[in-house]
Amino acid sequence: DQHGHVVHLHERDCSVQRRHQKVVEIAPAARLQPQLRERLASDAVRLARQVGYENAGTVEFLVDQSGSYYFIEVNSRLQVEHTVTEEITGVDLVHAQLQVAAGRSLPELGLEQDKIRVNGCAIQCRVTTEDPARGFQPDTGRIEVFRSGEGMGIRLDGASAFQGALISPHYDSLLVKVVAHGHDQPAAAAKMRRALAEFRIRGVKVGPRGAGEQ
């Protein structure tokens, strides 16, 4: 915030990527040793405090098999996968951003480190207009049929995904973000598999493979 307070909202694992674009995001990261998790969060907070950073942001690291980690960059914005952080922390990041920009402090918003707890696991999958048969190249056309997977623990963040929508080559291929929240990772994964299987999309090719009809 503008008053020198810095908190972290834990970590996300964004290892599953295609052409350097994230496809699946998970929070919190699985199989991350507690000491390593603490060091990553501490370094992210220390970086933000050192440069006087204000706003929401993501500090990205690469972690190797030995547990060593390397700083990549800071994304000084709200990222597409902020949804999984919101699901496990209960923090509305968009609302918090606006309040911080208006001059309110993090403690005023109830955002103090010891109060930010992890609740279960959240997984996000990006349903995109891409053709798996052509190396996942973006596909275009008109959506003839669109039915999304829903249910308890499923959150959908959509934009151009509806019956009759014209998918243009001039915009991003993302149709809808599907977020599943469960008490642990297997529970969240089971909800995600069910939700993706319930999708029905015709008129354009979609990925990841298995997300509805093609």
Structure pTM?
A: 0.91
Answer yes or no: do 58 and 100 share one domain: yes
Answer yes or no: do 192 and 150 share one domain: yes
How many folded domains does the chain comprise?
2
Answer yes or no: do 109 and 133 share one domain: no
Q: Which pLDDT belongs to residue 137?
A: 87
Q: Which pLDDT belongs to residue 208?
A: 54
Answer yes or no: do 125 and 107 share one domain: no
* DSSP string for 122-134: EEEEEEE-EEGGG
CB 180 within 8 A of CB 153: yes
Answer yes or no: do 167 and 193 share one domain: yes
Q: Which of 98, 115, 132 is where one domain is finished?
A: 115
User: Active-site positions?
Assistant: 77
* pLDDT tens, the chain, 214 aa long: 999 999 999 999 999 988 788 899 999 999 899 999 999 999 999 999 999 999 999 999 999 999 999 999 999 999 999 999 999 999 999 999 999 999 999 999 999 999 999 999 999 999 989 888 888 888 999 999 999 999 999 999 987 788 998 998 888 888 999 999 999 999 999 999 999 999 999 999 987 543 444 4
Q: Which pLDDT belongs to residue 211?
A: 44
Q: Which pLDDT belongs to residue 212?
A: 43
Distance of alpha carbon 165 from alpha carbon 173, whole angstroms:
13
Domain contains 3: no
Distance of alpha carbon 59 from alpha carbon 65, whole angstroms:
20
User: What CATH number has the domain bearing residue 156?
Assistant: 3.90.600
Residue numbers of the domain that contains 39: 13-20+27-115
Q: Which pLDDT belongs to residue 209?
A: 41
Q: Which of 69, 97, 115 is where one domain is finished?
A: 115
Give me the torsion for CA of 50, 54, 60, 63, rounded to 10°. 50
Answer yes or no: do 136 and 190 share one domain: yes
Distance of alpha carbon 86 from alpha carbon 148, whole angstroms:
21
Q: Which of 115, 136, 155 is where one domain is finished?
A: 115
Domain contains 71: yes
Domain contains 162: yes
Domain contains 97: yes
Answer yes or no: do 128 and 90 share one domain: no
